Amino acid sequence: MKRILLSTVCVAVLGLAAAAVEPAQAQDQGSVEVLHWWTSGGEAAAVGVLKQDMESKGVAWQDMPVAGGAGEAAMTALRARVTSGNPPTAAQLLGMSLRAWAEEGYLGDLTEVAEPEGWDSVIPEPLQAFAKYDGHYVAAPVNIHRPNWLWSNAKIFEENGLTPPKTWDEFNQVAEALQAKGIQPLAHGGQNWQDTTVFDDVVLGIGGPEFYQKAIIEADPEALGSDTMVKVFDQMRKIRGFVDPNFSGRDWNLATAMVLNGEAAMQLMGDWAKGEIIAAGKTPGVDILCTPAPGTEGSFLFNTDFFAMFDVGEERRPAQLIMASAAMSPSFQETFNLAKGSIPARTDVPGDKFDECGKQSMADIKAAQEKGTLMGSLAHGHAQPPAVQGAMFDVVTNHFNSDQSSADAAKALVDAVAAAQ
C-alpha cells in the first residue's frame, strides 16, 4: 500500500516537474504567422481557439488579420506578401484560390504529417480534391460551412403567426406580410460576395440542383443565358425590394446583428452567422431559427476554410507542421467548429456537442453527398476559379444595384463568363 502511495506521489511530483519545465521547452517551437479574415465576434472567438492551441504547444502565434467578409481584402494582402518573397506561414484560403496558389507552386508539402496521421481516411473526398495538389496535401481543411441557410428571428415570426418560408414564392409572401406590418423583412449587406451568397440560393432554389450544377459549376452558356436564369434575376429584383435603404456596404455581421436585435426578420447567410448568434449568447435553432434557404432543402452548398501552408523554408517548417497537425486534430476541430458555426471537416468528430443547426448540417451533408446534391458555393470560392467568380460577382452586383432588366443581366452573365474564361 505504502509502495503504491509512494510511487503515486513520485509520479505526481515528476508530473509536476514536467509541467513546470514544459513552458521553457514549449517556447522553443518557433512561431507561425497566420493570415486570415476572421475579425467578427464569432470568427475571432474561433480563431482564438487555434491561437490558444498553438501557444499550448509552444508555438508563438503572429496574427495577421485582414478584415473583410469572404476574404477579398485578405487575398490582396496575401498576394503582396507572397510576391515580395515573404509569405506567411499559413493563410486561410477557400478551395479555388487554394488550387490557384498550388498551381503557381507557392505551397509546401504536408505529407510528413498527413500520411502518419491518416488524413486520407478522415477528410471527405470533395475536400481532398482541394486540399491536395499533385498527389500531396498542401493545406489543412478546418471546417465545412453551409452558405445556403436562412436565419429567422423566432420572436418576430411567432408574434406574426408566420413560419420560415420553404420556397421563393413563400419567401415573397412572408416578406410582403412583414413589410405590411412595418417590419424589415431582410437584413442584407450590399457587398458583391453577399449579393452572390443570395444569388447562389436563388439559382439553387429556383433552378434546382441540376441547374445549379450546369450554370454555376459548369458555367454552361446555355444555362447561364436561359429563361430559368431570367427568373432567377426576377427574384433577385424582388429581394432588393425587401432590403432597407442603408444596406449598401454593410458588413455581414452587422446584418446578422439586425436579426438578433429584432430590427429585421431574416438573413440569407452561411452558418458563420451562427458564430455571431452564439457569441451574442443566443441559441441557434431557438432564438434564431435555421432553415435551408428557400427551395434548397435536400441540397448542400459548401465552403471550407483551408489553412494553406506556404513554402517557407526549413527554419520555419517545424512550427508549420505542428500547426497543420493541430488544425487537423479531432479535439481542435470540435472546439473550433462549435465556435465558428460550421461542422468539422473530419468525418470522425462526434456531433453530440453541436446544436440543432449543426446536427442538421451533419445529417444534410451526408444525404446530399449520397444524392449528388453536395455542390461548391460560387460566392465562397468552391465553384469557379477566381477570375470567373469575379466576373459573375460583377454581374450579380451590378444587376442588384441598378434597374437592369433580368434578360439583360442573364445576357451579361454569359458574356462576362466567356470573357473571363
The minimum distance between CB 272 and ligand GAL, in angstroms, equals 4
Alpha helical stretches, state H, 132-226: 154-159, 168-180, 192-212, 221-224
Which letter does DSSP use for residue 302 in this model? E
Are the C-beta atoms of 368 and 297 separated by less than 8 Å? no
Taking the mean position of all CA atoms in its chain, how far away is CA 214?
A: 23
Q: Among residues 43 and 195, whose Cβ is nearest to ligand GAL?
A: 43
Binding region for ligand GAL (CB under 6 A) out of 37-45, 49-57, 156-164, 225-233:
37-45
The footprint of ligand GAL on residues 319-358 (CB under 6 A) is: none
CA distance 326 to 318: 12
Q: Which of 34, 70, 204, 266 binds ligand GAL (CB under 6 A)?
A: 70
Q: Which of 32, 34, 35, 38 binds ligand GAL (CB under 6 A)?
A: 38
Q: Among residues 43 and 201, whose Cβ is nearest to ligand GAL?
A: 43
Question: Should residue 43 be labelled a site residue for ligand GAL when binding is judged by CB under 6 A?
Answer: yes
Strands 136-137 and 306-309: unpaired
238, three cell numbers: 424582388
Q: Which of 33, 34, 35, 37 binds ligand GAL (CB under 6 A)?
A: 37
10 Å Cβ neighbour count for 67? 12
The footprint of ligand GAL on residues 92-111 (CB under 6 A) is: 94
Q: Among residues 47 and 175, whose Cβ is nearest to ligand GAL?
A: 47
Q: Which of 47, 50, 108, 145 binds ligand GAL (CB under 6 A)?
A: 145
Q: Among residues 196 and 299, whose Cβ is nearest to ligand GAL?
A: 196
Task: Print the binding letters for residues 168-207 with ligand GAL: x by CB under 6 A, - otherwise.
Answer: ----------------------------------------
Number of residues that bind ligand GAL (CB under 6 A): 13
The minimum distance between CB 125 and ligand GAL, in angstroms, equals 20
The footprint of ligand GAL on residues 352-411 (CB under 6 A) is: 380
The minimum distance between CB 228 and ligand GAL, in angstroms, equals 26
Q: Among residues 70 and 110, whose Cβ is nearest to ligand GAL?
A: 70
CA distance 200 to 198: 5
Per DSSP, the three-state class of 86 is coil
CA distance 34 to 99: 18
Q: Among residues 43 and 53, whose Cβ is nearest to ligand GAL?
A: 43
CA distance 388 to 369: 25
Are the C-beta atoms of 358 and 283 separated by less than 8 Å? no
The minimum distance between CB 71 and ligand GAL, in angstroms, equals 6
* Residue closest to ligand GAL, measured at CB: 69
Q: What Å distances lie between residue 44 and 99, 250, 345, CA to CA?
A: 26, 19, 19
50, three cell numbers: 487555434
CA distance 214 to 194: 22
Strands 306-309 and 139-141: antiparallel
413, three cell numbers: 452573365
Q: Among residues 30 and 385, whose Cβ is nearest to ligand GAL?
A: 385
The minimum distance between CB 36 and ligand GAL, in angstroms, equals 8
Q: Among residues 38 and 212, whose Cβ is nearest to ligand GAL?
A: 38
* Residue pointed to by grid coordinates 504529417: 113
Task: Print the binding letters for residues 280-319 with ligand GAL: x by CB under 6 A, - otherwise.
Answer: -----------------------x-x--------------
CA distance 115 to 112: 6
75, three cell numbers: 487575398
Are the C-beta atoms of 91 and 307 separated by less than 8 Å? yes
From 345, 381, 335, select the one nearest 365 (Cα to Cα).
Answer: 345
Q: Among residues 380 and 399, whose Cβ is nearest to ligand GAL?
A: 380
Q: 266 — phi, psi (to 5°)? A: -140, 160
Q: Among residues 33 and 271, whose Cβ is nearest to ligand GAL?
A: 271
CA distance 254 to 39: 12
Task: Print the binding letters for residues 210-249 with ligand GAL: x by CB under 6 A, - otherwise.
Answer: ----------------------------------------
What does the binding site for ligand GAL look like in residue numbers (CB under 6 A)? 37-38, 43, 69-71, 94, 145, 252, 272, 303, 305, 380
